[in-house]
Amino acid sequence: MHIHHIAIAVKDLDAALEFYRDALGVTVSKRHTVPAEGVEVAFLPCGETKVELLQPLDPNNGIGRFIEKRGEGIHHLCVQVEDIEATVAQLQTAGARLATEIRAHPDGTRYAFVHPKSTHGVLLELYQPPDLTGFEDL
């Protein structure tokens, strides 16, 4: 298990990239829309971890409401796991509460969120890629 990415909710992805990409000098490895989550995202590698910038496509979706309530900032911490079912089962046995069921992206990546009430205030994403080969390029 390792930290895959730290997600930051932003109002304007292009404005955020002016800082992270242009001022800080971090290269964007991938930028795309995730319709199922209602966001546009950009991944910026920082060593073995990535920064994920999230812009809501709708101000009334989860990221939009997060920004309205808390402002821009860190939204969640994502850890990559080898077996998401086993990790979820382990957490539930320990009393953790999931915020979502296990879901899948079109590329086969599986993910689930653990409720912040179970993680001392941090929304935690569990992330299992379909095939670890080449995954480091995301």
Q: Tokens 């990221």, residue?
A: 63
The enclosing H or E element of 16 equals helix 13-17
pLDDT at 137: 45
For the chain, which domains are there? 2-137 (3.10.180.10)
What's the rounded Cα separation, in Å, for the pair 97 and 9?
A: 23
pLDDT digits (tens, 9 = 90+) for 37-64: 899 999 999 999 999 999 999 999 999 9
C-alpha radius of gyration, the chain, whole number = 15
Question: Could you tell me which residues come within 8 angstroms of residue 21 by beta carbon, excluding any fewer than 6 positions away?
Answer: 27, 28, 44
All residue ranges of the chain with pLDDT < 50 are 133-138
Strand duo 2-9 + 49-56: pairing: parallel
pLDDT at 135: 43
Q: Tokens 């299992």, residue?
A: 128
pLDDT at 131: 73
pLDDT at 132: 53
pLDDT at 4: 96
